[in-house]
Structure 1
Amino acid sequence: MKLQRNGRSKALAIGAVALVSALSLTACGSDDNTSSNGATGGGTTAAAAKIACGKGGQLLGAGSTAQGNAIDVWKTAYGAACSGTTITYGGGGSGAGVQQFNQGKVAFAGSDSALKPAEVEASKAVCTGGQGVNLPMVGGLISIVYNIDGVDKLTLDATTIAKIFDSQITKWNDPAIAALNPGVTLPDADIQHVHRSDDSGTTDNLTKYLAKASNGAWTYPASKTWAAKGGQSANGSAGVSAQVKSVKNSISYVELSFAQTNKLKSAAISTGASKPVEATAANAATTFAKAKIAGTGSDLALSLDYATKDEGAYPIVLVTYEIVCDKGNKAESLDTLKSFLTYAISADGQKAIGDGGYVPLPKELSSKVQGVVAALA
């Protein structure tokens, strides 16, 4: 597994991530292993985790719903080990998180898309003497989830997904879908496709995949904002999941953990490999194996191959970044920010999300992130 940065190869395998729209984390010394959404902390307790607590106080973050459950897992161990600290993470989507960060309202933002040049420039107004940088903390895959009576296995490819979400394919028994699913009885039913209503890094990564792999069927630019025709919309990953669960003959896109939590079926993806690729963390890790660091200096933004045809490589992937100031962080929250992020990227922090069904970042990449976190000022 290789990563390139400044001409040098680096090993990389990044794991899957989970979601929640918002959560509040209070480090109060509790030994309760239950997260705010009912998930457990993957068995990681204060006794198992080695956490160097900060000076305490309040730390605010916001953004990606894709990383909410990962923070929720981390909160159990961090809260049990540390006291006097209140960490509040509000979801709202990647776009909202970046906006709040660049307005100086939060110490860190979660985003499933790296900062754009204009956003980096805007960050300089709040990062005195520095700028916002992208630190990969968790990685995942986007499941194409569906709710079709009598259909337990479904295969789609980028072209059919693009046409479904653009209202060009409107029936489940359309010949293009049937050709990908020999032997499967598909109903003569209208397709109910659901997309995110909020600006979403999940949408951005899905549309990057469609733009790269659909052979021109997706005619819109990759974006956090949904642009295609028709369909229903829902807010956040939780809203999209609930919509698919309740609406027959529906289809949408959510991160793997929400598919699992809501017991939604996920389509296999035909990529051009010898057989369709199932939506599993292990198959996403195969894609992440060839990711490259595209950022420079303290910025560790990654470049992903959405059009991969490698055997067993799931193509619809995302990375969630913590966006922080490399310099110019607020003095009152800097110590706690570094403490929390140091735990999150540590072996214990990564094992905690691994125990919860995700794949931890490899040591070489996590070491790079640790180095940047330690140098935050």
Structure 2
Amino acid sequence: MTLQRKTRRMTPRALTLGALAVSGALALTACGSDATSETGTADSAASAQAGAIDCGDAKGQLLADGSSAQKNAIDAWVKQFAAACKGGLQINYKGSGSGAGITAFTQGQVAFAGSDSALKPEEITASKKICKGGQAIDLPMVGGPIAVSYNLPGVDELVLDAPTLAKIFDAKITTWDDAAIKKLNPDAELPSTKIQAFHRSDESGTTDNFTKYLIATAPDDWKYEGGKSWQAKGGQGASGSSGVAQQVKQTEGAIGYMELSYAKDGQTVSIDTGASAPVAATVENASNAIADAKIVGTGKDLALELNYATKADNAYPITLVTYEIVCDKGNKAETLPATKSFLNYIASEDGQALLADAGYAPIPDEIIGKVRETIDGLA
């Protein structure tokens, strides 16, 4: 999609509402997450979720695939949805990666796909063979930080900036006691341990967004074009966000990028953006950055342009927004009721409220309102 499309920047009101959504969500317990709570609270939350879900005529099996970054969120939503909509309805989201999901969608294998990058023009063209009389559109549904997780015993806090990250992931900085890292962390006892950088081996919207950040903020140190496939020559590959997280967890000296929910049990880097203080990878800080996004999609498409170079205080710059990819018109009649019912739920206030507990950022109110309107009009 070209950036010459009509754009509209989100208002301060959207930022406020997004922050309120996050703070409200933090008070809830997601039954599908790893959070623990008293049984009564969990039961109450589950009952409230079930009561808010309109199953409509949803039935049968709903197949979906795509972004592994949003899989933990999808799993939490599916648990609530399946509990409310009984009678044989099954939702199977594979989480094979954004590239695989879009391919499965354009080949007619799934009812919807998840992607951490908006559709490319050629993907929209391909979708018209499946979306009879229409085309695929992007519906932003899940936000959150791409955390840079590391495994360095004895170093509990670590600050990096874009040029240093670019050199680490391009194998130009190879040990943890490098002068550039020391300068950013003067009080840390940095070992001479070899850096083991891990990246996604599969096509990934997480890779696309991570490298877009490096391209926007460290152009002198990151000379690659970007995209869903990893292009730098350094480092080691692992499949899916879970694969990268596992490699970082078990490898001393490791560093890797992943969606925050996969890094919640490990150490994460704070980013020196030029703001008054380094910015941590948190749900709130990601929401602050997402609220500065612009809508660049046209018609019913709601693709966003993120500001990776933000220097605003408390705005974490390495963020992603996961889109649900669906036909605006021409969805299969047998799966349309279940697709609309499930998408309506996950875009609802109750569905979005589950995100923070799972390590994700709710989509700011101004955008998610448009998403709800679009879902209602799917045909």
How many corresponding residue pairs?
356
Q: Deviation of residue 354 (structure 1)?
A: 3.1
Contact 1:12 1:361 in 2 (8 A): no
Residue 294 to residue 374, structure 1, CA distance change in 2 (3 Å) = same
Q: Deviation of residue 54 (structure 1)?
A: 3.2
Q: Deviation of residue 273 (structure 1)?
A: 1.2
Contact 1:64 1:111 in 2 (8 A): yes
Q: What's the secondary structure of 2:228's corresponding residue?
A: coil
Partner residue of 2:27? Answer: none
Partner residue of 1:28? Answer: none
Q: Distance in 1 between matches of 2:80 and 2:36?
A: 11
Q: Deviation of residue 362 (structure 1)?
A: 3.1
What letter corresponds to residue 66 of structure 2 in structure 1? G
Partner residue of 1:273? Answer: 275
Q: What's the secondary structure of 1:83's corresponding residue?
A: coil
Residue 363 to residue 272, structure 1, CA distance change in 2 (3 Å) = closer
Q: Distance in 2 between matches of 1:132 and 1:125?
A: 10
Q: Distance in 2 between matches of 1:344 and 1:48?
A: 11
Q: Deviation of residue 375 (structure 1)?
A: 0.4
Partner residue of 2:120? Answer: 116
Equivalent residue in structure 2 for 1:139, among 139, 143, 150: 143
In the TM superposition, 1:1-377 aligns within 5 A as: 10=11, 11-13=13-15, 35=32, 43=42, 44-49=45-50, 50-55=52-57, 56-84=59-87, 85-260=89-264, 263-377=265-379
What letter corresponds to residue 284 of structure 2 in structure 1? A
Residue 309 to residue 332, structure 1, CA distance change in 2 (3 Å) = same
Q: Distance in 2 between matches of 1:238 and 1:61?
A: 18
Residue 215 to residue 47, structure 1, CA distance change in 2 (3 Å) = closer
Q: Distance in 2 between matches of 1:358 and 1:307?
A: 21
| Two-structure CA RMSD over aligned residues (Å) | 2.2
Q: Deviation of residue 34 (structure 1)?
A: 5.6
Q: Distance in 2 between matches of 1:161 and 1:309?
A: 17
TM-score by length of 1: 0.90
What letter corresponds to residue 73 of structure 2 in structure 1? A
CA deviations on 1:40-64 (whole Å, 9 max, x unpaired) are 7994314444111032111111000
What letter corresponds to residue 194 of structure 1 in structure 2? F
Q: Deviation of residue 39 (structure 1)?
A: 6.4
Q: Distance in 2 between matches of 1:243 and 1:8?
A: 38
Contact 1:136 1:369 in 2 (8 A): yes
Contact 1:327 1:376 in 2 (8 A): yes
Q: Distance in 1 between matches of 2:291 and 2:48?
A: 32
Q: Distance in 2 between matches of 1:338 and 1:349?
A: 14
What letter corresponds to residue 309 of structure 1 in structure 2? K
Q: What's the secondary structure of 1:163's corresponding residue?
A: helix
Contact 1:12 1:288 in 2 (8 A): no
Contact 2:147 2:281 in 1 (8 A): yes
CA deviations on 1:87-107 (whole Å, 9 max, x unpaired) are 110111000000000000001
Contact 2:10 2:292 in 1 (8 A): no
Partner residue of 1:24? Answer: none
What letter corresponds to residue 123 of structure 2 in structure 1? E
Q: Distance in 2 between matches of 1:82 and 1:345?
A: 17
What letter corresponds to residue 291 of structure 2 in structure 1? A
What letter corresponds to residue 298 of structure 1 in structure 2? K
Q: Distance in 2 between matches of 1:5 and 1:157?
A: 32
Contact 2:275 2:311 in 1 (8 A): yes
Contact 2:7 2:296 in 1 (8 A): no
